[in-house]
Copies of this chain bind each other. A is one copy, B any other.
Amino acid sequence: MAGPTGSVGGVTTPQGYRASGSSAGIKANKGLDLALLVSDTPATAAAVFTTNRAQAAPILVSREHLSASGGVARAIVVNSGCANACTGDEGLRAARDMAAETARLVTCSIAEVLVASTGVIGVALPIEKIRAALPAAFRELASDRGSMAARAIMTTDPFPKEAAADLKIGGRTIRIGGMAKGSGMIEPMMATMLGFLTTDADVPQPLLARALREVVDDTFNAITVDGECSTNDSVMLLANGASGASIDVGNYDAFVGGLHAVCRELALGIVRGGEGATKLVTVTVTGAASEARRAAKAIANSLLVKTAIHGGDPNWGRLIAVAGRANVAFELSRAAVMIGSTTLFRDGRPHDEAAAEAAEYLKGAEIALSVDLGSGPASSTVWTCDLSAEYVRINAEYRT
């Protein structure tokens, strides 16, 4: 596999894509809240959506459109500031209108437009504001405005998340770009929050869908900020073939490698920018009989683990307590806990003499926690952040 190189850029880094980010007046603060992404030619499209049973209107509409178009899209239109979730038939009409107005401007079929929304649940989408703002958003489309689009999909995110990679496929360079937003209600169970990916490779739809599923499982689905799976999680991937290079089973692994690099960077960006986060925490579970992911997620979602990390306390007993309640095979007498490269518990015995070393390590901004369950060969890595009083402040005041 030709490894991916570089990581500067975003959704308009691949050839043949234009984007814009503008303000439709949905957010009270007049910030950017409308993102438009258009492929110059019809692109093969794949997407994964939230497993939440309260699916938002844009999810229902995007599913319909992907099915009706057979996996082809020209444009993605996204608003922030309003999730258009739990909004009934009126919300469904608004999501359809948003796609229809975009299709009129792009001159494509309505089914070739995918829609996404993020923000407060249960508030009606101000569709007239969006309709009024779309013509300007369309006029502003440019191949160097991916970063504007990345800013327009933000809610409580402290910074935009963009990534890109390029790789050689049969003598040609292909590019993969992406943008994503967090930053609370994050524990994707199928896809995550909002992520938008582009490539100028030509990829058959079944291969594109498979690549997206595989990569999402180890990137967006391996992160958690607060254990909350939202009503609007979506990751969409467009492939327009503008590079002239085609992906087939022979170079599929190389393509997946590039896609993985982009998605991993975006996923870690979501965690780094988690609400109130001050540290990026990598949780690795080894020695599992099975369900290593379940144990890793339980540790990553533990309030007591997250607050201990926030306080710089090498309180390994909390890691053991979570492993013990995670409903997975666990052998205390063969278990081990490491913080960074420091062993604090092994073979049933504490090593508290190493606590000072671990406390020093915990002052850093990137923390690795490892728990060996002592029960088998399986392992899993997930990413999370610490839990700070700032998370409480953000979420106690979100709508006020």
Contact = CB atoms under 8 A, between A and B. Distances in A.
Interface string A168-188: 000000000000000011000
Interface in A357-400: 387-389, 391-393, 395-400
A311 B121 contact: no
Interface in A325-373: 325, 330, 332, 335, 345, 348-350, 352
A148 interface: no
Contact of A321 (B52, B303, B322, B332): B52
Contact of A389 (B121, B315, B389): B389
B398 A387 contact: no
Contacts of A316: 122
Q: Is the interface of A mostly helix, strand, loop or mixed?
A: loop
Contacts of A85: 317, 320-321
Per assembly, the copies of the chain total 2
Contact of A345 (B55, B122, B345, B350): B122
A231 interface: yes
Interface string A114-148: 00000011111000000000000000000000000
Contact of A88 (B185, B227, B330, B349): B349
B303 A345 contact: no
Nearest to A302: B228
A193 interface: no
A88 B226 contact: no
B395 A392 contact: no
A100 interface: no
A86 B304 contact: no
A311 B395 CA distance: 8
Contacts of A330: 53-54
B307 A86 contact: no
A51 interface: yes
Interface residues of A, number: 64
A102 interface: no
Given A122-B345, A332-B86, A396 B307 contact: yes
Contacts of A348: 86, 88-89
Nearest to A325: B229
B303 A227 contact: yes
Interface in A51-109: 51-55, 83, 85-89
4 pairs of A and B residues whose beta carbons are closest in the complex: A121-B317, A311-B396, A54-B324, A389-B389
24 contacts: A52-B325, A85-B317, A85-B320, A86-B350, A87-B350, A88-B348, A121-B315, A121-B317, A121-B318, A122-B320, A226-B304, A227-B303, A228-B303, A228-B321, A228-B325, A230-B321, A231-B320, A307-B392, A308-B396, A311-B395, A313-B396, A313-B399, A315-B399, A391-B392
Interface of A: 51-55, 83, 85-89, 120-124, 184-185, 189, 226-231, 302-304, 307-308, 310-313, 315-318, 320-325, 330, 332, 335, 345, 348-350, 352, 387-389, 391-393, 395-400
